[in-house]
Structure 1
Amino acid sequence: MTTPPELRFRLPDGAEAAVSVHTLLNGGYAGRNQEDVAAHVAELAELGVPAPDSTPAVYPIAPYLAMQTDEVPAQHGRTSGEAEWALLVTGSRPEDVLLTAACDHTDRALEVHGVAWSKNAGPDVLARNAWRLTDVADRIDTLTLRAWAGETLIQDGTLAELLSPQYWLEFLTGHGLRTEGVALLSGTIPMRPGADQFAGQWRVELGDPETGASIGLGYRVRRLPEFTGK
């Protein structure tokens, strides 16, 4: 039996929380304004990306793809990340739900054949710091979410644009999944028009304007050598 990956997070009070992820879920098409989401689905369909049966969507991901890493290997040049937040359930108490920054690294060439396939072709990179959700719940919509591809800021928004952590906690509870070892990524905010997402480095930052604190992650994308054998 495969051992679930253990992730460790530093908390603002200096404590450390650890969780072995056995269930990893990615939210998709998770904008709070679902009319805008429907328009986005139609745009993607014109590019050949299959539309989900309904929105928001939830994609089960192989749990070993939940990683805290500085490097992501890629088979070709059409892979990229997405700025997201993640929930980690580390226990049964309300304060055992952690919020952190995340980046869903996706194979865009594979995406036209299946979104779930493309998300399982790359890792979900998580930051090494986290906040207790209970500590920021009263101002959750003001938290900022940004991403840089290389040195270019290509995503810049707030959590108010996405379905809330409370929405997803209710989803987990309703499906018997609000249990230790479950991780869920939020889905992403829009990219800036004309942004080039195919870069050798990615950074994501989750910020709290009220305190000035932030949680960040960054990694480089390493191209694998091309296969040359028979």
Structure 2
Amino acid sequence: MPEYPRLSFTLPDGSEVHTDVHTLLNAGYAGRSQDDVAAHVAELAELGVPAPSTTPALYPVAPYLASQTDEVPVQHGRTSGEAEWALVITGPSPEDVLLTAACDHTDRALEVHGVAWSKNAGPDVLARKAWRLVDVEDRLDDLVLRAWAGDVEIQHGKLAELLTPAYWLDVLRSKGWYEPGVVLISGTIPMHHGVDQFTSSWRVELSDPATGNVIELGYRVRPLPEPIG
């Protein structure tokens, strides 16, 4: 049997849930307003990023890229994260679907050659805490995503800006992918203009204004040594 990465999450009641990730999916162009998505695709095209054949998009990536780490090694200076939420399926019932914070660390130099390639060139970093989706689904749109590149806020928005977890769960069911060990990363919200995304650290926060509860993750970006040859 293959060995898959094991993720562990602490729930609000203090219990821990573990899952071995065999399928990792990255949503893209996943804004709830597809008019805004179309405008974003046009902006990216001006930067040389190829347009997707359809939106929203869904990119399968290598499952070993699912990680809970404090450090991300990179090969060059043009990589950066993205504030996202993640669905983690740990069992067959609705109570087994977890919601957590995630950061999709992407190779921006490779992105101009293919978004799917760039997604496979860096890890999806997940938080170590999670909520059961059923416990927050009545107020999902009010949950807040924030990200900091270094010490500067680079993203701030509500989950209402993105396609819902229910939308993506329906996609998983339609594809036969709804099963334990599947992780889906949501796609991201817009970045603030003028903020340098190529920094030495990233931090993402998912917060619930109704309760004050917060899930967060953070990691350092470590440049690898120069190659020989």
Q: TM-score, normalised by structure 1?
A: 0.99
1:75-107 alpha-carbon deviations (Å, 9 max, x no partner): 000000000000000000110000000000000
Question: Which amino acid is 1:44 matched to?
Answer: L
1:31-90 alpha-carbon deviations (Å, 9 max, x no partner): 000000001001101110000001000000000000000000000000000000000000
Distance in 2 between residues matched to 1:220 and 1:34, nearest whole Å: 33
Question: Which amino acid is 2:128 matched to?
Answer: R
1:24 has 2:24 as partner: yes
Question: Which amino acid is 2:89 matched to?
Answer: V
Question: Which amino acid is 2:167 matched to?
Answer: Y
Distance in 2 between residues matched to 1:203 and 1:138, nearest whole Å: 26
Residue 78 of structure 2 corresponds to 78
Distance in 2 between residues matched to 1:143 and 1:3, nearest whole Å: 34
Question: Which amino acid is 1:172 matched to?
Answer: L
Distance in 1 between residues matched to 2:11 and 2:141, nearest whole Å: 21
Question: Which amino acid is 2:181 matched to?
Answer: G
- SS of 2:188's partner is coil
Residue 195 of structure 1 corresponds to 195
Residue 149 of structure 2 corresponds to 149
Distance in 2 between residues matched to 1:7 and 1:226, nearest whole Å: 31
- SS of 1:122's partner is coil
1:86-129 alpha-carbon deviations (Å, 9 max, x no partner): 00000001100000000000000000000000010000000000
1:204 has 2:204 as partner: yes
Q: TM-score, normalised by structure 2?
A: 0.99
Residue 138 of structure 1 corresponds to 138
Shift of 1:2: 3.2
Residue 36 of structure 2 corresponds to 36
Task: Please provide the CA RMSD for this pair.
Answer: 0.6
1:172-209 alpha-carbon deviations (Å, 9 max, x no partner): 01111110000000000000011210010000000000
Shift of 1:163: 0.1
Distance in 1 between residues matched to 2:193 and 2:6, nearest whole Å: 37
Structure 1, gaps ≥5 residues long: none
Structure 2, gaps ≥5 residues long: none
Residue 125 of structure 1 corresponds to 125
Question: Which amino acid is 1:28 matched to?
Answer: G
- SS of 2:136's partner is helix
Distance in 1 between residues matched to 2:199 and 2:141, nearest whole Å: 29
Question: Which amino acid is 2:68 matched to?
Answer: Q
How many pairs are equivalent?
229
Residue 162 of structure 1 corresponds to 162
Residue identity (%): 72
Residue 115 of structure 2 corresponds to 115
Distance in 2 between residues matched to 1:139 and 1:89, nearest whole Å: 20
1:137-194 alpha-carbon deviations (Å, 9 max, x no partner): 0000000000000000000000000000000011101111110000000000000011
